[in-house]
Structures are given as structure tokens and as C-alpha cells.
Amino acid sequence: MYIWCIGDDFVTIMVWVDDMLTFATTVDLQKKAKADVESKWEITDLGIPSKIVGIELTISPDSIFISSSKYINSILLREDLGRTNSVSTPLNPNITLVPNPEGSNGDQSNLFASLLGELQYITNATCPDIAYAVNRLATYTANPSLQHHTTLK
């Protein structure tokens, strides 16, 4: 992410591999930033984005709404969690998480780590409200038990 400030105005340029988004406080400043980038590299303007890196964007004149609902729903379907009941908090405060019992190998298939990584991406992208629960469960990644996997789901 690059930020270019001119007085009280600014342009934010975000780059992901070969995709770029620009946000500016004025249309003229955004056009100038685009022209500056275009003077050095060949670019293709795809217009106003509706999705980038799995994040859906809804842009109106006075706001930008971000969502990962399609990505979250794909995870729920894959994990067969499409018909589960929602909960009021991401991690039940009454649950006591303990290390995998000694002598148990836990889930060595990396399914726990894979799902955890997807949830960490969602946490960083659009859902910071689940950060505590996801990071708390991440401490058990090396040797998760069935309790950890169930709690993660």
C-alpha cells in the first residue's frame, strides 16, 4: 500500500501481485495518480471494481462496503456447516481449551491449519470481530485435538 499526500488530500494505491486499486480524496488527484502510473507501466483500467482478492466491494458516492460473504459461504458449504445455528460470540467464554492430551497425535492432516488460515484471512480482510477466537485457536495448530477442530468450526 502506498499513500501519497498533497496538503489535506491524498491518494492510496494498493497493489496485489498485478492488480492495483486507487482511492483518492478528489477525482483530479486520482486521475493524476493513474497518469503517473501509466507513464511508467502499461495498465488496463477495468473500471470500478466489484471484487478483489475474494473481497466483495460495494461502492457508492459516499462509502465503500466490503464483505467476504461469498468466501465465507463457500467455506461453510465445504465444511458441511451450511445448516448450523449462529452464535452470539465467536468463542464461547465458558469453554476451557486445553492442549491435546499427552500421547495423542491429534489431527495431523492439516485440515485444522487450512481452515484456520482461511479464517485468519477473513479476520484480516473483513471480520476483525473474530480475531480473538481465531488467534486463540491458532495456538493449537501444531497438535489440534477434536475439541479444537470442533471449536474452530
Give residue 89's pLDDT: 86
**Cα–Cα distance measured from residue 10 to residue 23, given in angstroms and rounded to the nearest whole number:** 8
Give residue 107's pLDDT: 58
Give residue 75's pLDDT: 93
Give residue 66's pLDDT: 92
- Residue 50 to residues 4, 47, 60, 74, Cα–Cα distance (Å): 24, 9, 11, 18
Give residue 72's pLDDT: 92
* Cβ atoms 49, 57 nearer than 8 A: yes
Give residue 134's pLDDT: 96
- Residue 71 to residues 18, 35, 56, 121, 142, Cα–Cα distance (Å): 21, 34, 9, 10, 25
Residue 62 is classified by DSSP as T
**Cα–Cα distance measured from residue 104 to residue 54, given in angstroms and rounded to the nearest whole number:** 36
Task: Give the three cell numbers for residue 127.
Answer: 471480520
Give residue 146's pLDDT: 87
Give residue 82's pLDDT: 82
**Cα–Cα distance measured from residue 140 to residue 149, given in angstroms and rounded to the nearest whole number:** 10
Give residue 108's pLDDT: 62
Taking the chain (153 residues) in runs of 10, the rounded mean pLDDT of each run is 89 87 90 92 89 87 91 92 84 88 67 94 93 94 88 90
Q: Return the SS3 of 6.
A: strand
What ranges do the domains of the chain cover? Answer: 1-47, 87-152
Task: Specify the pTM.
Answer: 0.75
